Amino acid sequence: MANLEEIVNYCDELLDAQSFDDYCPNGLQVPGRSDVSMIISGVSASLELFEQAAELDAGLVLVHHGLIWGRAPSVIDRAARRRLELLFDRDCSLLAYHLPLDGHAEIGNNALIAAALGCDRQQPFGQLGSKTIGASGSFGGDGITLEELAARTAATCGGREPLVFDGGPEQIRSVAVVSGAGSPYLDAAIKAGFDAFITGEPAERVMNESREGEINFIAAGHYATETLGVQRLGELIAERFGVSHKFVDIPNPI
């Protein structure tokens, strides 16, 4: 058993969660039982995820996309009520970290993607206020081909073939990564001179922007690019507090 408050404090401090100017509250969104022995992690706070947590009698659900968005209280519709009822009925807590879990230099989605791609000399990328939420890196020697980068991206992000716009050089020596809906950072990657930019979701404009900006663009899926950080955080909690942890994969084609 582990104490919920201790777990929350550990995560808040590790991720420096309250220092981000985010679209949602980071940290404990729904409080449940004080003692936790089983943690379920997943990308998004869906009914299906909560149902699986209930089946395993998890005391804590850890997600990247929580239930609460915006800065003001919102109306609880029927879908939100069903989700909350599952948590309340099982006395289960919901812990959510959004941008802090993108931007962390070691266990963030983007740092983990860059490491899995084989990048060295990682640096932060993607300025948001006083913080950065992305990562960048380089490949030694002559770099790697765009085909190889796309293959490594697919292997890192669940195996699905990514969308690729080959606007830049065939040999990739540098890459910037902003997971999820990171397309707005394409322009910053172009201005910084990167050979490739990787994100989750494409925007309609990025095909032309990448070609005209002479940069390769890869979109590997919003969901797929945001599975790594929450899994790693769940593993760290389990290791530190001696609790069980299971990542529940609920694939999303977006």
**What is the reported pTM?**
0.96
Query: Tokens representing 71?
Result: 């800065």
What pLDDT, on the 0 to 100 scale, is given for residue 76? 86
pLDDT value for 74: 74
Residues 100, 23: contact at Cβ < 8 Å?
Answer: no
Q: Is 127 helix (H, G, I), strand (E, B) or coil?
A: strand
Position 72 scores a pLDDT of 58
* pLDDT tens digits, 18-57: 999 999 999 999 999 999 999 999 999 999 999 999 999 9
Domains and CATH numbers, the chain: 2-101+227-247 (3.40.1390.30), 102-225 (3.40.1390.30)
Task: Give pLDDT, residue 249.
Answer: 98
What is the distance between the alpha carbons of residues 38 and 31, in angstroms, rounded to a whole number? Answer: 15
Q: How far, in whole angstroms, is CA 29 from its chain's centroid?
A: 18
Q: What is the pLDDT of residue 9?
A: 98
* 215-247 residue pLDDT tens: 999 999 999 999 999 999 999 999 999 999 999
pLDDT-flagged residues of the chain (< 50)? none
Which two structure tokens, joined as six digits, stand for 46? 């869906």
* 122: number of Cβ within 10 Å: 17
Contact of 102 with 110, CB cutoff 8 Å: yes
User: What is residue 155's predicted lDDT score, i.e. its pLDDT?
Assistant: 98
